[in-house]
Amino acid sequence: MDKQVISELNPDYLKIIKMIKTGRAHEIHQDQHEYLTICPKHGGKFKDPSCRKSKTTQPFSKAPAEVRAFRLKNSYVDLIISRELKKNDYWPR
């Protein structure tokens, strides 16, 4: 992974980690980040947000948080691909 990608993802990563460490993992929303975010781990089969089946305990809060994983936003993946294509002359400039 090149340094530009790391530098672009780092602010979002640090923001997410800060929210987790301050016991606010249950408040994290995808709209709060530009490139890197988190998404639910229930595969789209889970319909009731108040059900505790998709929740887990947080290390820094008593509030349960949804089980989630890091993910790159689609628009960012598109940007990375287009940059690479332009760099290798596969894409018209």
- Rounded CA separation 70/38 (Å): 4
Provide the residue range defining the domain that includes 25. 3-87
In a domain, 92, yes or no: no
In a domain, 93, yes or no: no
The Cα angle at residue 43 between residues 81 and 26, in degrees rounded to 5: 90
Tally the domains of the chain: 1
Whether 54 contacts 40, CB under 8 Å:
yes
Per-residue pLDDT of 3-59, as tens digits, reads: 999 999 999 999 999 999 999 998 999 889 999 999 887 666 656 666 666 788 888
In a domain, 44, yes or no: yes
Give the SS3 label for residue 89: coil
Per-residue pLDDT of 51-85, as tens digits, reads: 666 788 888 899 888 888 999 999 999 999 888 88
Note the pTM of the prediction, 2 decimals. 0.78
In a domain, 50, yes or no: yes
Give the burial class of 51: count Cβ atoms within 10 A of its Cβ; 0-12 exposed, 13-18 middle, 19 or more buried: exposed
φ/ψ (deg, to 5) at 63: -75, 130
